[in-house]
Amino acid sequence: MSKKTRKYSSKIVDGVEQAPSRAMLRAVGFEEEDFLKPQVGIASTWSMVTPCNMHINKLADAAAEGANSSGCKSVIFNTISVSDGISMGTKGMRYSLVSREVIADSIETVVAGQGFDGLLAIGGCDKNMPGCLMAMARLDRPSIFVYGGSIQPGKDRTDIISVFEAVGAHSEGKISDIELLDIESKAIPGPGACGGMYTANTMASAIEALGISLPNSSAKEAVSSSKKEDCIEAGKALMNLIKKDLTPRKLLTKEAFENAITVVIALGGSTNAVLHLLAIAHEAKVDLTIDDFTRIGKKVPVLADLKPSGNYLMSELIEIGGITPLMRILLNEGLLHGDALTVSGRTLEENLNSVKEYPQDQKIIKEFNSPIRKDSHLRILYGNLAPEGAVAKISGKEGSSFRGKAKPFDSEEKAMKAIMEGNIKAGDIVIIRYEGPKGGPGMREMLSPTSAITGKGLGDKVAFLTDGRFSGGTHGFVVGHISPEAHLGGPLALVEEGDKIRIDADSNEVNLEVDKKTLEARKKKWKSPKEESEGVLRKYSRMVGSASSGAVTT
């Protein structure tokens, strides 16, 4: 191969002076002819930490097989994962968003340090997917992403959210110990990411819409033969990207991000997509802001009846064709940029030309003229409680406005205790603060308290505000990412029990109904109750920026 295809690896292995490098590489399986091939890193997020990633070592082998068959020399390496589902409701969850940065940093470090000419990354959990994309955007070397795939449903169409909501139902006396154990035991049948349109499936779909995955890579079950084939084909495609020098920043344009936002909205996806797409855009040097979600959301309807607020699982969407027919609908309606280039080497429109329509009798994707919601469920709110913005997830089933009395808590644990003890009533607005990027640190997701509220039958009767985040599995009247966060003295820190708050998803406002003079007096007395963290959380807290710009550390 010419040095054009070995732009980086040639500096590692060519010439007499690089004999020590070649000696080391021979020991890990390089043959003489491999030194003349483009070297590609296969970033595997395999671990036994979580079901989302427990099968990815086999997918990495398949990707390496595809890359090697196309004339590359593949090298598999690992990065970390933190399981949201396992750490949820504990202080361990503070490390979840932090892991996104660690993953991006670790992939960048290995790829740049080892002189790889290309990168294929396989992710299967909430943070390692955006982490992989952030690294790709930074490195700007030919790259392709493969989703590890969605989990199969548990018995009786259960999933992880079924378990979280069962906890609330159990505390209310609606189900017994044995019934709770039954749900717990059957909900997670094997490998794959959580099965609704939660953050993993949302981000996989967004990445495909960005053009960084092959068509329908996001819509394959983790244990399917088609997922293995997806990995092989992605490995082969990487060589074409190297030959054409087609790098991520040539694909990750403003139009590509607009495509991703459009697809996320149509699918009814997770609020975390806002945070992660902003972070990826930051690394790709694309000017994307939270207000772009409002601009695009005005004309894009929610079409997918998927969990958590809907009825169906990702596995059922896969059965009827995945997300490419949906993208075809959006393209036909003029809502996607069809000329956006993708890792297939073709434009998005070219990828979608041969896509079949959904079966006529399917019920998951609604007709464009009779959507679930006529505009976006992701609402960017402003007001005296969120001067820098907040992100709400309003499906429409909860109504479009909520006015109630504040019940503020200075940590997730304190709020959860109050919920489980029955101290939250209809009309309350639960506030969990000091859980922002700096104050948490780490911006914990609030799936445990929101699921407990739903399990108690209060999902449509209680609103929820936080400077932390929400899981993609959360539904109800929820507003997160409130900025500036309480730890920095943001208005959320000044709320007192009984204060009236109004949330309006039509006017996109969230306001504390307390006069300015009173708030100024409270601010003078305010002091953050959070103690400084140690270790990686301390470093993260000192470096991380606002949630309104993606909570990035670079």
The gap from C-alpha 217 to its chain's centroid, in whole angstroms, comes to: 16
- Residue 245 tokens read as 């020098």
Contact 379, 394 (CB under 8 A): yes
Helix (H) or strand (E) holding 98: helix 94-114
| 411 catalytically annotated | no
Q: Which of 471, 533, 541, 549 is catalytic?
A: 471
DSSP state of 33: G
Contact 153, 76 (CB under 8 A): no
Q: Which residues contact 158 (CB under 8 A, 6 or more apart)?
A: 183, 186, 187
C-alpha–C-alpha distance, residues 336 and 507, integer Å: 26
Counting DSSP H helices and E strands in the chain, the numbers are: 21, 12
DSSP state of 269: -
Helix (H) or strand (E) holding 86: helix 84-87
φ/ψ of residue 178, rounded to 5: -65, -40
Question: Residue 550 burial (CB < 10 Å; 0-12/13-18/19+)?
Answer: buried
The b-or-e profile of 19-48 (16+ CB within 10 A means b, else e) is eebbeebeeeebeeebbbbbbbbbbbbbbe
List the catalytic residues. Answer: 471
